[in-house]
Structure 1
Amino acid sequence: MTLHSLPLFVRLAGRPVILLGEGEAADAKRRLLERAGARIVGEEADASLAIVALEDEAAATAAVARLKARGVLVNAVDRPALCDFTLPAIIDRAPVIVAIGTGGVSAGLAGALRQRLEAMLPAALGRLAEALHGARADLRARWPDSGDRRRALGAALNGGPLDPLTAAPEAVAAWLGGSEAPEARRVVITLRSDDPDDLTLREARWLGQADVVSFAADVPVALLDRARADAVRVEGQPQVVEGLHVHLRR
């Protein structure tokens, strides 16, 4: 399945971004850019990114063409066909940032999803991330093997003692003091349909944690895409596999 866009997080602090336009739409983009620390400049300035928030269709189209001719990546407000990039709805639990995009086709849908997820994600989520970051040396010492370390973290974060929806930042130290890495294992998922949404929560977690995903030839790509991007994919069934091995079959 082809991605409509590749999501990227760009650090804009102190960097110039062109903003064209006046009014409510331009003001909203200005506030967002200022929040990211960007330096807002005019059309003639040297910049890599630009936001065009002009209401007049002809003026907006002409401005986009001029900027693109200079190699500038452009977001044209309410004109998704002209956009090189779009701006998502954002949930901020710094340093955790959740971005929800629709490719510019429905800001309302992105906003509604943001509101739902905002209520789910605890205010302490960012501090949990910082606690995990601060524990990197202890994690490496406890599980020197990267595969063991990844499996231990996966088990703890997915419904375990470090579940991001329930765990306090202090839980990291307690977990490091008493947890063990889960044993390597193989699980088989018998598919009920070609729809990834028909996976159970447990099956989706297995796929998200798997080191190796093996599959029958008729398993659709949409289901394989639910696995980690760096998981090894093997058609058929490998004989010897270390770590968590998930096999997809009908």
Structure 2
Amino acid sequence: MQQLPVFLNLAGRTVVLVGEGEAAEAKARLVTRAGGRIVPAWEEGAAIAFVALADDEAARAAAVELRARGLLVNVVDRPELCDFTTPAIVDRAPVTIAIGTGGASAGLAKAVRQRIEALLPSRLGALASALHAARDTMRARWPAAADRRRAIDAALAAGGALDPLDPGAVDRVGRWLAEEIGTAASRLEIIRLTSNDPDDLTLRAARLLGEADHIFHSPAVPAAVLDRARADAVRHRADAPPGDPPPGLSLWISGSGS
């Protein structure tokens, strides 16, 4: 990962926008949609800055000046001068999907966005809002955080009660909360790597890495493969699979030479 993706709350905050023309107007629309207040030069309390100037030297000078004021700066079409880049956005508020390429290719980010746009139903945001409204009910239903997460994961899985790609999922939230759903038992799955390249993972292995609660792995498993697992999955370096795996889904991953 070359950049840290973050979602910045700009509502009511000041954003510096230096420049004019189509590129500046595009950034202005983006900031306005996020609720930001635009000013043409540095102002006390400004959060971030955009520079949209055609002249290379003018753009560089503006970026240096704004950065000296303590701002993070985005310089349009000049990734080498940027502290951050703006992604292609799929907006299903409150769900927002951002696709970035680290400034390598805005066209590629746009193409990926268009593919994702075609997949996601317009009511996806309504499903997110319904789940947010049901947080207290879910906490009461599943007091243990791990049980709650597993129940939600199962509901949101492909073909699950609340499959995000199903336009009718939002209408089933109440019924899902009222259903009897058992607590997941311990489950151990085994992944044997055929190479150390994470791009060689099978679809099954990639899916399991995205779902697992615990990752048990031999020392030979490379970090690049482990990075494909959920960030909050617990990692266990071990010489053998666990005899008594913890509740939920555990994986045993052996290296390609094992």
Q: TM-score range by the shorter chain?
A: over 0.9
Structure 1 match to 2:247: 242
The more displaced of 132-141 and 11-20 is 132-141
Aligned equivalent of 2:175: 174
Q: Give the AA of the match of 2:162.
A: L
Other structure's SS at 1:170 match = helix
Contact 1:149–1:181, Cα closer than 8 Å, also in 2: no
Distance (whole Å) between structure 1 residues aligned to residue 18 and residue 154 of structure 2? 48
Aligned pair count?
248
What residue ranges of structure 1 are gaps of 5+ in the alignment?
A: none
What SS does structure 1 have at the residue aligned with 2:110?
A: helix
Instruction: Work out the CA distance in 2 between the residues paired with 1:205 and 1:181.
Output: 21
Per the TM alignment, residue 217 of structure 1 is displaced from its structure 2 partner at its CA by 1.3
Deviates more, 1:28-37 or 1:176-185: 176-185
Identity of matched residues, %? 58
Task: Name which of structure 1's ranges 141-150 and 191-200 shifts more when overlaid on structure 2.
Answer: 191-200
Counterpart for residue 163 of structure 1: 163
Aligned positions of 1:78-89 closer than 5 A: 78-89=77-88
CA contact 1:48–1:71 (8 Å) conserved in 2:
no
1-side partners of 2:120 and 2:62: how far apart? 39
Superposed CA offset, 1:107-151 (max 9, x none): 111000000000001111111111111221221222211111111
Match of 2:42 among 36, 41, 44: 44
Q: Which runs of 4+ in 1 moved over 6 A?
A: none
Structure 1 residue 238: deviation in Å? 4.1
In 1: Cα distance, 2:218 partner to 2:176 partner:
37
- Give the distance between the partners of 1:129 and 1:200, measured in 2 at CA: 30
Deviation at residue 184 of structure 1 after TM alignment = 2.3
Structure 2 residue 32 is matched with structure 1 residue 34: yes
> 1:239 Cα deviation (Å)?
4.5
5+ unaligned residues in a row in structure 2: which ranges? none
Q: Does the aligned pair in 2 maintain the 1:75–1:85 contact within 8 Å?
A: yes
Which of 185, 197, 200 is matched with 1:198 structurally? 200
Q: 1:203 & 1:132 partners in 2: Cα distance?
A: 28
When normalised by structure 2's length, the TM-score is 0.91
Task: Output the amino acid matched with 2:213.
Answer: D
For residues 178 and 194 of structure 2, the distance between their equivalents in structure 1, rounded to whole angstroms, comes to 40
Shift of 1:245: 0.9
Residues 181/128 of structure 1: CA separation in 2 closer, same or farther (3 Å cut):
farther
State whether residues 48 and 73 of structure 2, in contact with CA within 8 Å, keep that contact through their aligned partners in structure 1.
Answer: yes
Which amino acid in 1 is paired with 2:4?
A: L
DSSP 3-state at the match of 1:48: strand
Correspondence 1:124 to 2:120: no
What is the Cα deviation at residue 211 of structure 1? 1.4
In 1, the alpha carbon distance for the partners of 2:97 and 2:252 equals 30
Following TM superposition, by how much is the alpha carbon of 1:42 offset from its aligned partner in structure 2, in angstroms?
A: 2.1
SS of alignment partner, residue 128 of structure 1: helix
CA RMSD between the two structures: 1.5
